[in-house]
Amino acid sequence: MEYILTAKRVLHCFELGSELKVNFHKSRVAQVGIDRVRESSSWVTTFKCKQASRPISYLGFLLGSRPWSKNFWNLLVSKIEKRLAHWKRKFLLKSGGLVLINSVISSILIYFLSVFKLPIGVAHLIEKLQGSFLWGDGVLKRKLHSVSWGEVFKRKANEGFGIRIS
């Protein structure tokens, strides 16, 4: 029980030092490791917060899942597909498409890759989505590409398009 009170004091010092307030009504206590029901209820009563339900989600991923499986990454791929579908490719110049891919898609990847390593198969799928968007390909139609895909990833200083590799 002593370490629970110590944790509460540390959070109180954080509030005083940062002028930020921890919102315990939105906070949850999660049990990790050994099942300690009595101990987690002590945390809940001390912090006046709620018990987290399982499965626990972090950054949109379920903790305890297998990040090496392709199904684990469906959330990321569908998020990128939805983002690309909202943009009307026919009204954009290639440079506009490059800016969108470099800024928005890269930020989505950085968000997810801050926790997990991206499997090669998923990286290829994301590159395929980026290429389809850049060249204006549809699901059922193909277009001739004006530049090879390898040129797209070259730095702008080396006469490439400057897309960051996922």
Give the model's pLDDT for residue 98. 77
Give the model's pLDDT for residue 146. 65
Tell me how far apart the alpha carbons of residues 60 and 56 are, in angstroms, rounded to a whole number. Answer: 10
Task: Tell me the whole-structure pTM to 2 decimals.
Answer: 0.57
Tell me, what DSSP letter sits at residue 63?
A: T
Tell me how far apart the alpha carbons of residues 44 and 51 are, in angstroms, rounded to a whole number. Answer: 6
100-150 tens-digit pLDDT:
877 788 888 887 787 788 888 888 888 888 877 777 765 445 666 666 666
Q: How many CB atoms lie within 10 A of CB 164?
A: 13
Mean per-residue pLDDT over the chain, rounded: 76
